Amino acid sequence: MDDLRKRAKELIDTSAVKVVIGYEQGTGNKTRALFVENSEVADKLIFDSRCVQNLAAYVTKQEVKSKGKMAITATLPVMRAIIQLASEFQVNDDNLIVIGITPESKIIDFKNLEEVETYVHQFQIEIDARNREILDKLDKMTPSERWKFWIDELSPCFKCYACRAACPMCYCSRCTVDFNRPQWIPVSSNELGNLEWHFMRAMHLTGRCVDCDACANACPLAIPINLLTKKMIEDAKSDFGGYQPSLKGENLLSTFKPDDKENFIQ
């Protein structure tokens, strides 16, 4: 923790960056984002296992970006998100410094995003055991049972779009769901509107999702929407050999291989 605070102070004091994004103690047992713009505030920085909000969601936010060069406290999922954002031209070495942090609160110094990428590529995106089990259970159901499962799970959704807001990959200034000409998705948070919204969200994250669970953690109604993106990660593995965010920018669904194998086209 002291290392983190020291590094943040250094970056601010040497004017290397204008703002350091990290975590602070929040209210109740929550942690939350902290924006360090002067070195006294750096003493509020903390890091522990509760710090799971994906801070990369802030680096594309106008209000934060406009402050100038940023530094971000980045766990592995945050680093992955940063690389994905870089591949989509949302951040670069000129506007962002990454302060890597391990689960043991050790600081990793990165000179540039390339080093971050190298670090990230040491680890595959793996579905955790608890969700693995739920996915297996769903796989064994009939499509009709799965349909009922999802209609029921999604029924509380009132479309507050906290999932979208918390997701670092959802940075579009105008989302498909906000369009009314054409109206792609019914605005109502009824069965159809909810189904299509979550379907669309999962499709847009296919090949881009970094499996940080920010969407599910943000959902005030605790809907397990991350299962949708996890399933897409799984299927990407079997269909396309998996993916890793990469500075080369070859997103799964914006590229192809002439010999992609499927078994359903006649």
Partner 1 sequence: MNIERRLVRKDSLEKLFDILRQNKKTVFAPVMKNGKASFKPVGSFSSIAEDYIQTTQSSKEVIFPRVEKFLDYEKNGKEVSIKGFDYQSVTETVLWGVRPCDTIGFGTLNSIFNWDFKDEIFNARLSKTIILSFSCNKSDDYCFCTSVGGNPGSTAGSDILFTKLGADGDYLAEVVTEKGQAIVALASELFEKTESVEKEKFLANVPVKFNQEEIRKKLEKFFKSSQWVEQSLKCLGCGACAFVCPTCACFDIQDDAHGKIGSRMRCWDSCGYSQFTVHTSGHNPRSVQSQRWRQRIMHKFSYMPERLSVYGCTGCGRCSRACPADMNILEHLISIQEVKI
Partner 2 sequence: MAEFEPKIVAFVCNWCTYAGADLTGTSRIKYASNVRIVRFPCTGRIDYMLLLKAFDEGADGIIVSGCHPNDCHYTSGNFHARRRWMAFRSLCDFIGIDTRRIKFSWVSAAEGAKWADIVNTTVASVRELGPYDEYKKVAKKPVKEESHG
Residues of this chain that bind partner 2 (CB under 8 A): 138, 143-151, 176, 184-185, 190-192, 195-196, 199-200, 202-203, 206-207, 228, 231-232, 235-236, 239-240, 252-258, 260, 262, 264-266
Mapped onto helix, strand or coil, the DSSP state of residue 189 is coil
Hunting for tokens 């010999």 — which residue is that? 259
Instruction: Select from 6-14, 26-34, 92-100, 119-127 the region that touches partner 1 (CB under 8 A).
Output: 26-34
The distance of closest approach from Cβ of residue 243 to partner 2 in the complex, given in angstroms and rounded to an integer, is: 12
Residue 64's binding partner out of partner 2, partner 1, none, with CB under 5 to 8 Å set by partner kind: partner 1
Q: How far apart are CA 231 and CA 107, in angstroms?
A: 32
- The residue among 53 and 84 lying less far from partner 1, judged by its C-beta, is 53
Chain centroid to CA 58: 11
- Contact between residue 19 and residue 41 where contact means Cβ atoms under 8 Å apart: no
Q: Does the footprint of partner 1 cover residue 264 (CB under 8 A)?
A: no
From residue 8, give the alpha-carbon distance in Å to each of 43, 102, 111, 232, 245. Answer: 9, 16, 15, 37, 26
Label residue 56 exposed, middle or buried (CB < 10 Å: 0-12, 13-18, 19+): buried
Q: Does the footprint of partner 1 cover residue 69 (CB under 8 A)?
A: no
Task: Find the binder of partner 1 among 142, 144, 173, 238 (CB under 8 A).
Answer: 173
- The residue among 60 and 194 lying less far from partner 2, judged by its C-beta, is 194
Q: Does the footprint of partner 1 cover residue 224 (CB under 8 A)?
A: yes
Give the gyration radius of the chain's Cα atoms. Answer: 19
Query: Which of 28, 19, 84 lies closest to 214 in space, CA to CA?
Result: 84
Both tokens assigned to 195: 């189904």
The distance of closest approach from Cβ of residue 84 to partner 1 in the complex, given in angstroms and rounded to an integer, is: 18
Instruction: Select from 106-114, 181-189, 205-213, 241-249 the region that touches partner 1 (CB under 8 A).
Output: 181-189
